[in-house]
Structures are given as C-alpha cells and as structure tokens.
Amino acid sequence: MKILIKNTNLISMSEKREKYEKNIDILIEDSKIVKISKQINENVDKVIDARNKVVMPGLINTHSHIAMSIFRETVDGYTTQEWLEKKIWPMEDKLNKEDIYYASLLSCIEMIKTGTTTMNDMYFMTDSIIDAAIETGIRLQTTRTLMGYDENEKSRLIELEELIKKYSKNKLISFNVGIHGLYTSNLSYVKMCLEFAKENNLPVHMHFCENQKEREDIIKDYGVKNPAEIIKREFSNTHNILAHCVKLDKEDIEIIKQTNTYVSHCPISNLKLGCGIAKIKEMLDEGICISLGTDGQGSGSNLDLFETMKYTALLQKGINENPKLLDSYEILKMATINGAKALKLSDKIGSIEEGKTADLIIIDVNDVLTRPVNNIFAQIIYNVKGYNVETTIIDGKIVMENRKIVNVKQEDIINKCEKIIDRIKI
C-alpha cells in the first residue's frame, strides 16, 4: 500500500530537517516513510491532500492504565486512599477479561482520535489490552504489572514471559518490565524483576515518588536518605522509565541523572490527586530526558496529550515565575521523540524521517481558535486539542480518517462500556 500526503506543512521533529517546512509531500510505502520532498509524483493507492494542514509525528504517551477509561471522574470528593479503597479496588475486583478488552478499546479510540499513536501501559489481564490495541491498530508497549514480596513467587514474571512469546510476531507490540513501585514490592522481588529485564534486554517501567507518602515509605522501608539511591544502586544496568517523579529533591535529581533513566511526567494526574507538581525545570537543567504521560483516566481524566503538553509548559512557567521557560518546540519533543527514546523505540518512531515507520498525524488548524498563526509551535501547544487531529496513521495504515475511526465501531464500544460500569459501579 502506497500513500502520498500532498502539500502539507511539516513539523518532522527530526534534527536533520528544518523545524517547520511548508508545502511538503510525504510518500509512505507499506509501513515506512520512503520519501519526504516537495512535489513527489508517484503512482500511489491513496492521495491525501493536506493543504493548510500540519503533519507531525504521532504523540507518544509514556505512562497510562488504559483499561481505567470506565473509571473516568469517579474521584471527585475523595482523597486518593479513600478513592482507591472505596471505589477503584472494589470495582477492579469485578472486572473480567472482556471488560478489560472493551475498556481498553475505548481508550485506544480516544488515543487515536486525539493524536496518540504509541502508548506505554501498566495493568493486569494484559492480553485483553494487547488484543484491543491490535484491533484498533495502535502501537503499544506493555507489561504484566509486577509486585510482590517473595523472590520465589514467579507467577507474574512467567505470565509476562508467556505474553512476550504469544505476541512476538506482532511488530506493533513491545514489552517492558513493569514493576508497580518500590513501595509495593520488597528489594529481593525488585531485583528478580531487574534480572529478568537485563536477561531479556527490556526497559523497566515503574511508578516512582508520585506523592509524599510514597517517598516517605520508600525512605523508611529501604533505609535510605533519598529514594533515588535505590535507583542508582539497583537500576544502573537497565533502561528505566520512571513515572511521576513528583517528590524528588535536588539530590534525587542529581542521583537519577547518573543512571539511564527517562522520566514520564504526568502533570494532570499529579494535580488531580493532590500529589503536587514535578520539578521539571530542575530535571531539564540536569539534562534528564522528559517524556509525557496521561496516567489512567481515573486520575488523569482523559488521554489527550495535547492537553498534557499545555499543562507541562504552563505549570513550569507559573511555579518558577518565569515565562521564558519550556519553549513550545521543547514541549513537542517531550511528546514525540523523547517518548520514543524512553520506550527504546526511537530508531523507528518519534520523528518523521525517510526510513522511519509512518506513525504520524494530520492536524487541522483552520479554525477560529487556531488562526491567525503567529507561532506554529506555540499554536499547537496552547490552542490545538486532540479534536483538531483529522487523520491518524500508524505503521503506514490509516486508523482514523476525517475523524472517523477505521477498524472498530465507536458507538458499539461506548455502549458496551456503559453496560460494564453499570454492572460494577459502587
């Protein structure tokens, strides 16, 4: 299948190209971008006229729990602990594999409709989540969530191993070793998971210092002054994606910088759960690679990474009282190429370049909120939202065209999810 995108404005996020190029054609053959140039003339199966539109890489969400779509807006009026104990855990307990499949399908649709083409998930009944991703055509990195207090208790790691085998042929699916958190496992269990990651050359994905209580628990349980000491001591030979990192002090940030660690910043969830605001400016000053996550909709409300980009920029400008911080182009990097680096997929995705995989979105900026354009990058960060995404292409396949999802029936899936929440709600 050959697709030719004509006459577009390109934000490639490639260091080899101009930041913004006008009147560009992009030729896609099967899953790859084969040519980027002005005026490509080629016989193709499909031409997309993207005149006055913007093409950019599909967004990469580096932390979520997509099966939680059905728990959206259940947290109002609760503390986090009350919410988990009174709402989430009792509802989760009633979920079966089919529920997880449909709830995940809902999220896959939401992501495709808001311009996300790759996501990094952590949950359970993972094969249902993977099947939903395959069904919709979205790229997924995932795990079987790991937690425990006994290094002889290998059942979850065996599940992960079986998942890796089962889906080894599917190039849209990759795996990491998802350790829930240092506060929900002991050191020997964590070490076993890290060994597995090293043996299988997989990234490690873990919640880390999301709130003050977690920080204090780690300090107490592991007998350290700084939680980051554990990262340095135990996670130095793995590629690590640490989600949240809200409650890090200066020393933690300096220690983490010395490891191969990528931070997944989830500002909206962090605010909503009253965790606070991560010190992103300080992490950037230390050269730590920041990517963006939404967290699950239970706390993050939705999976629209355009919104996350805006919060990321505004929060750091606001709390540091410096409007020059976090330039719009830097924010675009966080949601694209930095996400690809975090997931060890930057050889394939995260920027639009000849030879890379065709994961890209076409944005319609022709509306009253988005014209005139004084600065295209800032316009995308501050005024474009997920609903401006018109067409989404993943692995060279059109998965949404003119806002219509291609592979599944949105209405059927929403109806199914409404029935699930009606059944399990507390």
The number of CA neighbours under 13 Å toward the Cβ of 74 is: 25
Q: Note if the bond before 323 is cis, omega within 30 degrees.
A: no
What does the block give as tokens for 422? 């009606």
Residue 4 CA to residue 19 CA, distance in Å, equals: 21
β pairing state of 139-142 and 173-175: parallel
> Mapping DSSP to helix (H, G, I), strand (E, B) and coil, where does residue 399 land?
strand
Q: How far is CA 132 from the centre of its chain?
A: 16
H-helix or E-strand spanning residue 253 = helix 250-257
Per DSSP (E only), the strands in 245-348 are: 261-265, 289-292
Q: Per CB under 8 A, does 78 bind its own copies? A: yes
Q: Which of residues 291-310 bind its own copies (CB under 8 A)?
A: 301-302, 304
Tokens of 313: 């920029």
Q: Which residue among 22, 375, 402, 409 contacts its own copies (CB under 8 A)? A: 375
In angstroms, give the least distance from the CB of 192 to its own copies: 34
Among 134, 187, 284, 373, binds its own copies (CB under 8 A): 373
Q: Which of 219, 325, 406, 424 binds its own copies (CB under 8 A)?
A: 325
Taking the least distance from each CB to its own copies, the nearer of 81 and 152 is 81
133 or 146: CB nearest its own copies: 133
Taking the least distance from each CB to its own copies, the nearer of 343 and 417 is 417
How many chain residues are in contact with its own copies, going by CB under 8 A?
A: 66
Residue nearer to its own copies on the CB measure, 111 or 190: 111
Q: Is the N-terminal amide bond of 203 cis, ω within 30° of 0?
A: no
What amino acid is encoded at 426 in this protein?
I
In the bound state with its own copies, the residue whose beta carbon lies nearer, of 27 and 332, is: 332
Nearest distance, CB of residue 35 and its own copies, angstroms? 32
User: Binding to its own copies by residue 222, rule CB under 8 A?
Assistant: no
Q: Which residues pair with 364 in a beta bridge?
A: 53
Shortest gap between Cβ of 250 and its own copies (angstroms)? 19
Question: Minimum distance from CB of 401 to its own copies (Å)?
Answer: 16
Q: Does 378 bind its own copies (CB under 8 A)?
A: yes
Which listed residue (46, 166, 250, 371) binds its own copies by CB under 8 A? 371
Interacting span for its own copies (CB under 8 A) from 122-130, 191-199, 214-222, 271-279: 271-279
Binding range to its own copies, per CB under 8 A, among 92-100, 218-226, 229-237, 367-375: 367-375
Handedness of CA 276, 281, 284, 290 (dihedral sign): positive
CA 403 – CA 274 distance, rounded (Å): 34
- Phi/psi of residue 97, each to 5°? -60, -40
Residue 198 Cβ vs its own copies, minimum distance, rounded to whole Å: 36
Site string for its own copies, 157-196 (x = CB under 8 A): ----------------------------------------
Structure letter (DSSP) for residue 258: T
- Residues 320, 281: contact at Cβ < 8 Å? yes
Asked if 106 interacts with its own copies (CB under 8 A), we say yes
- Tell me the one-letter amino acid at 381: I
Cβ(62)–Cβ(264) below 8 Å: yes
Which residue has 């855990």 as its token pair? 89
Report if residue 328 touches its own copies, rule: CB under 8 A: yes
Q: Closest distance between its own copies and the C-beta of residue 130, in Å?
A: 20
Contact footprint for its own copies (CB under 8 A): 70-80, 83, 106, 109-110, 113-114, 211-212, 268, 270-277, 301-302, 304, 311, 314-315, 317-325, 327-328, 368-369, 371-375, 377-379, 382-383, 385-387, 410, 414, 417-418, 421, 425
